[in-house]
Structure 1
Amino acid sequence: MLGSLIAVLGTLLGSVSTHLFQQRATERTEARAREGLLRQERLAAYSGFAAAVTELKRAVVTVRLRRSDPAALDAALAEADRLGALAETARFRLLLVSGRPEPLADAAFACVGALHEAADRSDLRDREAEFETAVAAFIAAAADRLAVAPRSAR
């Protein structure tokens, strides 16, 4: 009788411990999956912002170059306005997904605004170079953030 009781208790203990180990493994797998999804969302937000702000820069430069042609200027202004709204939306999404301030994104966005104030084509080229530098810094920082190992793997 005692032997049977010990066998039953051993079986129950084994079942409970197996259940606990499986539950932990499932939780770890789910946490890794969440981290992977969050990383994909961040990648999409960072790359989406970089693409949107670059398209906006192109449109702003087009506006600057078409100032002497009123018919072409109206279309260029409309396109720049549309792309400005898309870039702002991408910036908001980036802030939501990253969960923290993004000063390098703000700097790249500010460089686009500075293009409006270019005095001549030489100044415009200089400001475009500043924009490219700002976007490169943003992308490098984003790549560093995305390369960090997820918390559950540490």
Structure 2
Amino acid sequence: MSAVLGSLIAVLGTLLGSFSTYVFQQRTAARTEASARAERLRLEHLAACSGFAAAVTELKRAVVTAWLRRSDPVELGLALAEADRLGALAETARVRLQLVSGQPEPLADTAFARLDALRGAVDVTELKSHEAEFAAALAAFITAAAERLSASHRAVP
């Protein structure tokens, strides 16, 4: 009888050990998966932020080029076509950023809106002033994005 009782205790101990191992492995796997998902989202957000910053910077360059070539109709036409193409890419990058972040991006919208002022500059001094405003708006976006990305990196378990 004691041999049966000993065997029963051994079997129950083995089952309890197997079950507890299973539970701990499931928790570890779920935590690892959540951490990996959070890191993938952070990297996607980083790519969207940097893609937007690059696209809007290229658009600024094209807008300034068009402004500088406004006295030559042929050169202006080519520069405006390039600015239009880059404007579409920047708008796409802005939409992607909003989709990835899942929230409005007012600092990105501000930087994007500053480009309109560049087009309407009446002289080089005003153009440079608008360029500085654009640079400040873009820097504010980059700073806020870096802080948000850094915070999300610290939050990853």
TM over 0.5: yes
Tell me the distance in 2 between the aligned counterparts of 1:5 and 1:55: 74
> How big is the shift at 1:137?
0.3
- Picking from 107, 111, 118, the partner of 1:108 is 111
Q: Select the structure of larger CA radius of gyration.
A: 2
Unpaired runs of at least 5, structure 1? none
- Picking from 45, 48, 57, the partner of 2:60 is 57
Taking only aligned residues, the RMSD between alpha carbons, in angstroms, comes to 0.9
Asked whether the 8 Å contact 1:57–1:112 carries over to 2, the reply is yes
> How big is the shift at 1:152?
4.6
Tell me the distance in 2 between the aligned counterparts of 1:105 and 1:66: 27
In structure 1, the residue matched to 2:128 is: 125
Identity %: 69
One-letter amino acid of the counterpart of residue 128, structure 2: R
One-letter amino acid of the counterpart of residue 120, structure 2: E
1:36 aligns with 2:39: yes
> How big is the shift at 1:116?
1.1
In structure 2, the residue matched to 1:146 is: 149
Asked whether the 8 Å contact 1:108–1:131 carries over to 2, the reply is yes
How many residues align? The count is: 153
Moved over 4 A (4+): none
- Picking from 92, 98, 102, the partner of 1:99 is 102
Tell me the distance in 1 between the aligned counterparts of 2:29 and 2:154: 17
Query: TM-score of the superposition, structure 2-length normalised?
Result: 0.95
> How big is the shift at 1:117?
1.3
Asked whether the 8 Å contact 1:35–1:150 carries over to 2, the reply is no
Asked whether the 8 Å contact 2:66–2:76 carries over to 1, the reply is yes
Tell me the distance in 2 between the aligned counterparts of 1:32 and 1:117: 48
